[in-house]
Amino acid sequence: MSAVFRKPKTFKLRALHGPQKFGVAGSSCQDVLRKGCLHLQLPVAGSRLCLYEDGTELTADDFWSVPDGSELVLLAAGQTWQGYVSDIRRFLSAFHKPHEGLIQAARQLLSDEQAPLRQKLLADLLHTVSENIAAETRAEDPPWFEGLESRFRTKSGYLRYSCESRIRSYLREGPFDVDACASKHSINPYGNRESRVLFSTWNLDHIIEKKRTVVPTLAEAVTARDGREVAWEYFYDLLFTSENLKLVHIACHKKTTHKLSCDPRRLYRPRTKPKRRRPARRGQ
């Protein structure tokens, strides 16, 4: 009985510390390993193949179950690989001293990357490399202040002004009904000019809606107070504090009605009962 012919499998192969990839085809794990070692000029003895995605070692048993076009890392003796997070860890270790070589390596990886998740991770890393968070003044980080009036001399001063302006206008809509966004947005407006500009697209969203609910309820409470004192502290918290405001990314805004109402038990201050005056005791 003749053996079943199988078409050789194709892979993208790279060395541990090299971002460049090359194609290789083989009919077995050992065949791919041998060709990879020949191309990278590494000894076959002690070398092994791992999946780029999660660091799983490729063996003869699972060779045919791995999809064509999968990315592999060729490890020499003594080398380890924990998946693409290893690339991220390597970048993070150099963030305190970003240099041109690091940026070039990240750009090379990004230009050759097809997986959307890894593309986003690499793009975020490149963005972070250019951050200058420790700088505070215009003289220390001139690019951050591009487009701003000359009266703004520090990052803190501008961001304080920006936040105060946005608080005064209340800022309207957003995702009010989740504890955390599934998109995992994050931002540090002190980092660089792009982060500072992007921060202007984030909004403070009223969980209990200001125009549809809070303001009409306040007006109704004032009209129907009937001698009672309106609990202005409660309405102040709803309009101006984090009790009812959430910082949200513009892409995740919910423009539908929130369908939440003010707490009817907190509209008025509790009435204080006058204390009864006990009659004075007469001397015996």
According to DSSP, the β-strands at 9-15 and 70-75 are parallel
As a whole number of angstroms, the distance between CA 167 and CA 214 comes to 16
By three-state DSSP, how is residue 23 classified?
Answer: strand
Q: 263 pLDDT band (50/70/90 cuts)?
A: very high
What's the token pair of residue 33?
Answer: 């390993």
* Sign of the alpha-carbon torsion through 254, 258, 263, 267: positive
Lowest mean pLDDT among 165-179, 223-237, 248-262: 165-179
AA letter at 189: P
Q: 177 pLDDT band (50/70/90 cuts)?
A: low
By three-state DSSP, how is residue 29 classified?
Answer: helix
Tens digits of residue pLDDT in 107-165: 666 566 565 656 666 666 666 666 677 788 988 888 888 888 889 889 888 888 887 77
**DSSP notation for 66-101:** SPTTEEEEEE-TT----STHHHHHHHHTTTTS--HH
> What is the rounded average pLDDT for all residues in the chain?
77
Q: What percent of the chain has pLDDT over 90?
A: 20
Give the 3-state secondary structure percentages of the chain, helix then strand then coil, rounded to 5: 35, 10, 50
Q: Is 191 within 8 Å of 132 (Cβ atoms)? A: yes
AA letter at 229: E
Lowest mean pLDDT among 17-21, 41-45, 279-283: 279-283
Q: For residue 170, what pLDDT is reported? A: 42
Neighbours of 46 (CB within 10 A): 11
Q: For residue 35, what pLDDT is reported? A: 93
Name the more confident of 115 and 11: 11
By three-state DSSP, how is residue 108 classified?
Answer: helix
As a whole number of angstroms, the distance between CA 124 and CA 225 comes to 54
As a whole number of angstroms, the distance between CA 129 and CA 107 comes to 11
From the list 27, 119, 37, the residue with the least C-alpha distance to 73 is 37
**DSSP notation for 159-201:** HHHHHHHHHHT-------S-SS-TT-----TTS-HHHHHHHTT
By three-state DSSP, how is residue 264 classified?
Answer: helix
Q: For residue 134, what pLDDT is reported? A: 76
Q: For residue 175, what pLDDT is reported? A: 55
Tens digits of residue pLDDT in 52-93: 877 888 888 888 888 888 889 899 888 888 776 666 656 555
Q: Is 72 within 8 Å of 50 (Cβ atoms)? A: yes
Name the more confident of 16 and 277: 16
